[in-house]
């Protein structure tokens, strides 16, 4: 166990986002996942001599839209560069990327933290490049290469080293996933490799009046939020123990890359990191620079819309939701927009949120769809919420009716009437049931009147008995009020 010293964790992220284009970045090959290996290739993406690339305009617009959402300055003039390195999954032996003139830079993203506060993380740059292929090492004593992914449009986002805790890195990754999904620029499915995260971790250690900085270690290709948080936590402890044992700092070694061993929950050294000059960048001779005029810029910006954190804050401010409820209901754009429409149709926000997140999302998961695609109009769900708020039906009955509405969009009141589920608020009828229950349960009545330790439990029992006698139709609010009135009349005077 490392000795106790003061230190600060410094983390920046490199994020690779596969953009939701139909074809690859510089050729017309279909961009899809799960196909037969090497079935979606052409002379351009496998690097045949004489083949010429052509830029995918839609992918470029997706990259610019994302950069706008990240508050970046958008370059009106940018160019392409060749990044040269040799690896089996890179058939051209170079990657078309952007080096000194990225399409965007100097932005920021705001992320919600676990304590409810908001933290701003700087974005150094976001640029476009083409992806490499995929190595497969699981087929035997050899490696196989699948080039279906080679040439896919890849947005690389580089953050400033502004994160100081493993949970902040996870929150950053989750918020970025929400943003790209809201914008529709990526599916953001980490299991399919649509997003890959690479934390760069080092420590500032304060000892004997001096600050020591450990070497930066990059953890490669993380594809789950759990792996992001746990790998940063592990690497923090590993670097601290290494420093206390050896005294090594960043001046004593190059940046290193590590992999994450999810089975053993530890980082594993892979290699020393190349520097920029090792890649021998030079301008791509087969592609013209990209120049963006005002009309094109404004066309892209018009697609920006309300971003997830903005929507989450609005739901808290305008609708009175808790931070937790607002975060859940804004987890994806379709659900957030549907909730918004239900509230605007007249539903009380908390009731609408509970119905959607507790019942609607369960139904959607069972049908392998989204809440807004269940076939229930916002107006009818709002009516269901209003029926529960008015006491016409109980919360349990509201949930039951919700399960009967998908695909038919039936008026919830019609369902309630057809199945005889409307609650009664007839005080006369309920008062008779209250008197019956009080007469049949004298022991529970005595517990309440003498304020014994069982009083609260007895009160709930009596309420339940009245509702049971009414076959679930008695309005619980009216039952509670009448019970309280009768018990006060039975209480000893003086």
**Mean pLDDT per 10-residue run, the chain (494 residues)?**
80 97 96 89 94 97 98 98 92 95 98 91 98 88 93 97 97 97 95 94 93 94 95 97 89 83 93 72 96 98 96 97 95 96 97 96 94 96 94 87 91 89 73 84 83 81 84 76 82 70
Do 142 and 44 fall into the same domain?
A: yes
Q: Can you tell me the distance from the alpha carbon of 383 to that of 342, in angstroms, rounded to the nearest whole number?
A: 9
The residue range of the domain holding 464 is: 427-490
Contact 41, 92 (CB under 8 A): no
Final residue belonging to a domain, choices 356, 383, 418: 418
pLDDT of residue 439: 87
Tens digits of per-residue pLDDT, 384-435? 999 999 888 888 889 999 999 998 888 999 998 888 778 766 677 778 888 8
Q: Can you tell me the distance from the alpha carbon of 244 to that of 11, in angstroms, rounded to the nearest whole number?
A: 20
Q: Is 104 left (phi over 0), alpha (psi -120 to 50) or beta?
A: beta
Contact 80, 110 (CB under 8 A): no
Q: Pick from 220, 282, 273: which is nearest to 84 by CA?
A: 282
Do 315 and 448 fall into the same domain?
A: no
| Number of separate domains in the chain | 3
Do 177 and 87 fall into the same domain?
A: yes
Q: Can you tell me the distance from the alpha carbon of 269 to that of 240, in angstroms, rounded to the nearest whole number?
A: 16
pTM metric for this prediction: 0.85
User: Where does residue 114 rank: exposed (0-12), middle (13-18), buried (19+ CB within 10 A)?
Assistant: exposed
H helix intervals, 6-113: 57-69
Name, in order, each residue with C-beta under 8 angstroms of 454's C-beta and a sequence gap of 6 or more: 444, 447
Handedness of CA 230, 235, 240, 242 (dihedral sign): positive
Tens digits of per-residue pLDDT, 45-80? 999 999 999 999 999 999 999 999 999 999 999 999
Indicate whether 177 belongs to any domain: yes
Do 323 and 356 fall into the same domain?
A: yes
Do 431 and 414 fall into the same domain?
A: no
Residue 320 parent element (H or E)? none
Contact 194, 18 (CB under 8 A): yes
pLDDT of residue 1: 47
Contact 78, 289 (CB under 8 A): yes
Q: Can you tell me the distance from the alpha carbon of 187 to that of 177, in angstroms, rounded to the nearest whole number?
A: 9
Do 409 and 464 fall into the same domain?
A: no
Do 399 and 457 fall into the same domain?
A: no
Indicate whether 432 belongs to any domain: yes
- Bridge partners, residue 173, by sequence: none
Q: Can you tell me the distance from the alpha carbon of 477 to that of 449, in angstroms, rounded to the nearest whole number?
A: 21
Mean pLDDT score of the chain: 91
CATH code, domain carrying 462: 1.10.10.410
**At which residue do the structure tokens 């999954």 appear?**
89
Do 47 and 86 fall into the same domain?
A: yes
Indicate whether 266 belongs to any domain: no
What are 321's two structure tokens?
């939701």
What count of other Cβ atoms lies within 10 Å of the Cβ of residue 111?
22
Q: Can you tell me the distance from the alpha carbon of 169 to that of 188, in angstroms, rounded to the nearest whole number?
A: 17
pLDDT of residue 360: 96
DSSP label at 216?
A: P
Do 186 and 286 fall into the same domain?
A: yes
What are 406's two structure tokens?
């998908």
CA distances from 118 to 11, 122, 123, 226 (A): 17, 13, 16, 21
- Bridge partners, residue 311, by sequence: none
Do 330 and 458 fall into the same domain?
A: no
**At which residue do the structure tokens 């010293």 appear?**
5
Contact 118, 110 (CB under 8 A): yes
pLDDT of residue 426: 63
Final residue belonging to a domain, choices 387, 418, 449: 418
- Bridge partners, residue 11, by sequence: 163, 201
Could you give the 3-state DSSP secondary structure of residue 267?
strand
Do 99 and 30 fall into the same domain?
A: yes
Do 333 and 475 fall into the same domain?
A: no
H helix intervals, 110-256: 166-183, 225-246
DSSP assignment of 408-458, as one string? T---HHHHHHHTT-PPB--HHHHHHHHHHHHHH-HHHHHHHHTT-TTHHHH
Final residue belonging to a domain, choices 229, 262, 294: 294
For 389-416, letters b (16+ CB in 10 Å) and e give beebbbeebbbbbbeebbeeebebbebb
Name, in order, each residue with C-beta under 8 angstroms of 25's C-beta and a sequence gap of 6 or more: 53, 55, 56, 59, 96, 128, 129, 130, 131, 151, 152, 153, 154
Indicate whether 209 belongs to any domain: no
Contact 95, 86 (CB under 8 A): no
Q: Can you tell me the distance from the alpha carbon of 177 to that of 304, in angstroms, rounded to the nearest whole number?
A: 15
What are 459's two structure tokens?
């009160």
Indicate whether 188 belongs to any domain: yes
């Amino acid at each position: 166990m490392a000795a106790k010293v003061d230190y600060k964790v410094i983390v920046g992220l490199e994020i690779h986002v596969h953009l939701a284009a139909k074809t690859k970045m510089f050729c017309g090959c279909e961009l899809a996942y799960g196909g037969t290996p090497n079935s979606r290739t052409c002379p351009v993406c496998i690097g045949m001599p004489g083949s010429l690339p052509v830029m995918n305009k839609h992918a470029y617009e997706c990259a610019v839209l994302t950069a706008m959402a990240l508050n970046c300055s958008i370059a009106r003039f940018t160019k392409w560069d060749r990044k040269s390195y040799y690896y089996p999954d890179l058939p051209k032996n170079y990657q078309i990327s952007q080096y000194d003139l990225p399409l965007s830079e100097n932005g920021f993203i705001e992320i919600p933290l676990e304590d409810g506060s908001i933290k701003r993380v700087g974005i150094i740059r976001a640029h476009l490049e083409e992806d490499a292929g995929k190595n497969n090492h699981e087929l035997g004593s050899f490696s196989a290469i699948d080039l279906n992914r080679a040439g896919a449009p890849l947005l690389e986002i580089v953050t400033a080293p502004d994160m100081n805790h493993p949970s902040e890195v996870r929150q950053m990754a989750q918020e970025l996933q929400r943003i790209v999904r809201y914008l529709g620029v990526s599916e953001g499915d980490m299991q399919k490799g649509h997003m890959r995260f690479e934390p760069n971790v080092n420590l500032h250690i304060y000892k004997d009046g001096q600050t020591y900085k450990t070497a930066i270690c990059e953890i490669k290709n993380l594809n789950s939020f759990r792996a992001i948080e746990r790998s940063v936590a592990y690497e923090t402890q590993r670097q601290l123990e290494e420093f206390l044992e050896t005294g090594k700092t960043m001046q004593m070694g190059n940046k290193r890359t590590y992999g994450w061993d999810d089975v053993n929950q530890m980082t594993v050294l892979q290699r020393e990191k190349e520097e920029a000059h090792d890649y021998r960048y030079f301008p791509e001779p087969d592609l013209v620079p990209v120049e963006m005029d005002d009309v094109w810029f404004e066309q892209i910006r018009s697609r920006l819309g309300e971003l997830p954190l903005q929507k989450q804050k609005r739901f808290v401010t305008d609708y009175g939701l808790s931070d937790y409820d607002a975060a859940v209901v804004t987890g994806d754009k379709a659900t957030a927009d549907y909730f918004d429409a239900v509230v605007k149709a007249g539903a009380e926000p908390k009731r609408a949120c509970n119905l959607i997140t507790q019942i609607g999302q369960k139904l959607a998961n069972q049908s392998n769809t989204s809440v807004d695609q269940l076939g229930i109009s916002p107006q009818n769900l709002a009516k269901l919420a209003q029926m529960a708020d008015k006491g016409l039906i109980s919360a349990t009955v509201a949930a039951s009716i919700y399960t009967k509405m998908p695909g038919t969009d039936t008026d919830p009141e019609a369902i309630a009437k057809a199945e005889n589920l409307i609650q009664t608020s007839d005080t006369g009828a309920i008062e008779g049931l209250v008197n019956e229950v009080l007469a049949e349960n004298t022991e529970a009545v005595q517990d309440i009147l003498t304020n014994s330790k069982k009083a609260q439990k007895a009160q709930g029992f009596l309420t339940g008995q009245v509702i049971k006698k009414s076959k679930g139709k008695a309005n619980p609010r009216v039952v509670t009020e009448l019970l309280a009135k009768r018990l006060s009349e039975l209480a000893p005077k003086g």
